[in-house]
């Protein structure tokens, strides 16, 4: 707006000059040149303003896209957490079933030992099964602790994620960061699968 005022003032000065004087003619030429120069500057500034507005719109679209991606990632993490909690509950239920089964076998062993000494072979069998279940229980407990550790590590990495990390991870030119993130996710997937307990 200020540039247009300068152009209007320059134009009015050119019109107001007396037509008969040589000095006035050179002043008129100089003012016309100044008017042309100011007009060119105004056009250049308008072009720059349009370019900056286009850049701003592009940055806004990119920001919104990244926000949507972050929201989707948060939703996915919540789903993974819920699945993890469900898996831990099911695992603990199976452990409880095994503990109850183990208790029943111990009671049966006690009854068999008091009823007759002839069942020593059965007693040995129950002891062997008891040791096997205890070893399985210990292995399950260790694997469960490892799963919890992997889950916490994954959540800690997610909590430390910044917007810069998200932008670098989506860097389309070379993609080194995306490969790094994919390798990290594959490593966590392998860690979780390694802790799987076969029934």
| Residue 124 contacts residue 130 (beta carbons within 8 Å) | no
Say what the pLDDT of residue 101 is: 92
| Residue 4 contacts residue 45 (beta carbons within 8 Å) | no
Tell me the C-alpha distance between 74 and 66, whole Å. 12
Tell me the C-alpha distance between 191 and 146, whole Å. 9
| Residue 190 covered by a domain | yes
Say what the pLDDT of residue 157 is: 67
- pLDDT greater than 60 at residue 19: no
Structure pTM? 0.30
| Residue 92 covered by a domain | yes
Average confidence (pLDDT) over 129-156:
74
Say what the pLDDT of residue 8 is: 61
| Residue 51 covered by a domain | yes
Say what the pLDDT of residue 21 is: 56
> Helix and strand tally (H, E) in the chain?
5, 0
| Residue 11 covered by a domain | no
- pLDDT greater than 90 at residue 51: yes
| Residue 161 covered by a domain | yes
- pLDDT greater than 90 at residue 39: yes
Q: How confident is the model at residue 49 (pLDDT cuts 50, 70, 90)?
A: very high
CA 54 vs CA 44, 45, 48, 61: distances in Å: 15, 14, 10, 11
Q: Which domain holds residue 168?
A: 44-194
Number of domains in the chain: 1
Say what the pLDDT of residue 131 is: 83
Please tell me the number of Cα atoms within 13 Å of 158 on its side-chain side: 18
| Residue 100 covered by a domain | yes
Please spell the DSSP secondary structure of 103-157, one letter per residue: HHHHHHHHHHHHH-GGGHHHHHHHHHHHHHHHHHHHHHHHHHHHHHHHHHHHHHH
pLDDT in tens, 62-111: 999 999 999 999 888 889 889 988 999 998 999 899 899 988 888 888 88
Q: How confident is the model at residue 137 (pLDDT cuts 50, 70, 90)?
A: confident
| Residue 106 covered by a domain | yes
| Residue 41 contacts residue 20 (beta carbons within 8 Å) | no
Say what the pLDDT of residue 42 is: 93
């Amino acid at each position: 707006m200020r540039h247009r005022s300068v152009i209007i003032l320059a134009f009015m000065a050119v019109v107001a000059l007396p037509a008969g004087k040589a000095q006035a003619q050179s002043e008129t030429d100089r003012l016309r040149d100044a008017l042309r120069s100011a007009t060119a500057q105004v056009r250049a500034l308008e072009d720059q303003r349009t370019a900056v507005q286009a850049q701003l719109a592009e940055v806004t679209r990119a920001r919104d896209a990244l926000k949507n991606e972050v929201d989707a990632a948060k939703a996915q993490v919540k789903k993974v957490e819920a699945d993890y909690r469900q898996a831990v509950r099911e695992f603990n239920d199976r452990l409880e079933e095994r503990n109850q089964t183990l208790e029943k076998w111990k009671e049966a062993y006690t009854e068999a030992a008091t009823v007759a000494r002839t069942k020593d072979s059965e007693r040995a069998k129950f002891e062997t099964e008891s040791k096997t279940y205890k070893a399985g229980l210990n292995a399950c407990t260790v694997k469960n602790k490892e799963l919890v550790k992997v889950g916490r590590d994954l959540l800690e990495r997610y909590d430390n994620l910044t917007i810069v990390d998200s932008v670098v991870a989506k860097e389309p030119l070379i993609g080194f960061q995306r490969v790094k993130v994919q390798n990290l996710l594959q490593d966590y997937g392998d860690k979780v699968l390694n802790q799987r307990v076969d029934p």
